[in-house]
Amino acid sequence: MDVRDLLLQQWGSCLDEEDWFPPLEKVLEDITFEQATWKSADVEMNSIWELVCHLLFFEKRFLMRFQGETANEPQAEDNDATFRLPAETLKNWKATKQEYFHVHRELGNILANAEHEDLYREVLREDNSLVLELKSLAMHDAYHIGQIVFISKMQGAWPAKRSF
């Protein structure tokens, strides 16, 4: 197995392929608007939707940088700002999920179709190549998917039996 195949497997595990942890598409499948915006009164934490916004921010920014579209890339004054929600409506919750799924798949397609030199080329405003950045983003996704599952469990929204 070469590095591209290994990374594609990790990348797929984060979105729609079952592996050691549930993929985000499955995790979010039945999350309602109310569950997406819920926060515990007892613990300082981000909501599920805020976590998805955070994941989307970094994946979208890297995608745009890789494509050389830095003029319109997402901006944030600090890491906390990457968790900000758009107007809290059901339509925007659905749009955030769909945009995240689209951006994640687009990065996967780029990886799958990249020439060898594209896997390791410098990316404007980035410290990492495509291979290294997607490896880091996959680990970042896995970490936050765990948080999302935990928040779902705190709400009683996590099914008692899952296929994974």
Query: Could you count the other beta carbons within 10 Å of the beta carbon of residue 100?
Result: 22
Contacts of 42-48 spanning 24+ positions with Cβ under 8 A: 45/151, 46/83, 46/147, 47/85, 47/151, 48/148, 48/151, 48/152
pLDDT tens, residue order, the chain (164 aa) = 899 999 999 999 999 998 889 999 999 999 999 999 999 988 899 999 999 999 999 999 999 999 999 999 999 999 999 999 999 999 999 999 999 999 999 999 999 999 999 999 888 888 889 999 999 999 999 999 999 999 999 998 888 776 65
